[in-house]
Amino acid sequence: MSDQTKRTNQHISTRMVQANGVIDPQTGGVVPPIQSATTFARNTDYSLISDKHLYSRDDSDLLRLGEEILAKAEHAEAGLLFPSGMAAIAAIMRTVPNRGTIIVQSQIYWGTTKWVRYFCARREIALHEIDCSDLDVLSKAIEAEKPDLVFIETPSNPWLRITDIESAASMSHAAGAKLVVDSTAASPVLSNPLTLGADIVMHSATKSINGHSDVLAGFLATADAQSDIWQSISMDRHDAGAVLGSFEAWLLIRGMRTLPLRMERMCANAMSVAAFLDNHSKVETVLYPGITSHPGHELATKQMNGGYGSLLSFLVKGDAKTALEVCSKLEIFKRATSLGGVESLVEHRHSVEGNATGVPENLIRLSVGIEHIDDLVGDLSEALR
């Protein structure tokens, strides 16, 4: 096997730890250097000193490196980094023409739902929010509405529903629609939607890809870099200027170098937490695809790569007051919005969303971090006592 073949066939964890093997050519440093310049000098004949460096909107070595690492992790032809997950989603939605049609999975991340509702109303785009994890419902909606775009989230947030990506892709393509998958809760380590037929995969890289709650970023990857939708997204990002800064790209690369190891620990912790809650007398229901009673367990096992993620929700027996009391007693789980970081977080979703998406008042969402599992279970045990 040649050296080039060995490099191509490296496992995702090796590629990420090695930052794709990049060495600083000036110093030999094993950490990619930061170039903070926004513009680059030219020669006296006005030719570029470096043909890859004109203006930092696109000409950032760190941006290119981060995109390359993540694109390889997603088995993609190309990838694009954005300054937030919502900026990435907005770039996708702007490809749909006025008076077009979008099918979006219901009861997903509230930020997506809220913005897409506003965007579609403003652009006179027909929006259909349905439970895409129910393939009969999805099939009938696609057949009836003939959408331009189908947008699913799996595992979904905060319900942890699992949607069959391969089936959703087949249905979408039969109707001439593109399928976009928000795979934030899984990360590229646990799920690769493009290999199952999706056209575009989206990540809020703020979450587990960065993993340290200190960077806002979004990422898109495509199976076909020449497709009209990808060309439109690429032009939109460049011309609208929705790019990530050099320092943020450097932090993101720093974070993703430990992504496979962090996901391994977080998945193990989340499974243990789910098992503890599933057997607790004060817990009504646990929403986590790793437990066998979850309706999406078999599908998640089939289409995810050896783990079920760090996100889980549970319904405590009682009402909103009961749920808030449990959250207030937690000490290791920090009361904060987000997921996928090294620290464990807890959130009472109804306090954030209200009645807008039907989140029960007694639902508590957990993002399980990398702390010692005994401390996490002990914290929950005390809070539920």
Tell me which residues are annotated as active site: 57, 109, 182, 207
Strands (E), 92-246: 101-105, 126-130, 149-153, 178-182, 200-204, 218-222
358: its two tokens? 């039907």
Residue pair 290/297 in contact by the 8 Å Cβ criterion: yes
**DSSP characters over 138-154:** HHHHHHHH--SEEEEES
Q: What is the residue type of 153?
A: E
Q: Rounded to whole angstroms, what are the CA distances from 75 to 20, 45, 151, 224, 351?
A: 14, 41, 20, 11, 38
Residue pair 156/108 in contact by the 8 Å Cβ criterion: yes
Residue pair 114/356 in contact by the 8 Å Cβ criterion: yes
Phi, psi of 73 (to 5 degrees): -65, -30
Q: What is the residue type of 243?
A: V
Sheet holding 101-105, edge to edge: 78-82, 218-222, 200-204, 178-182, 149-153, 101-105, 126-130
Element (H, E) at 257: none
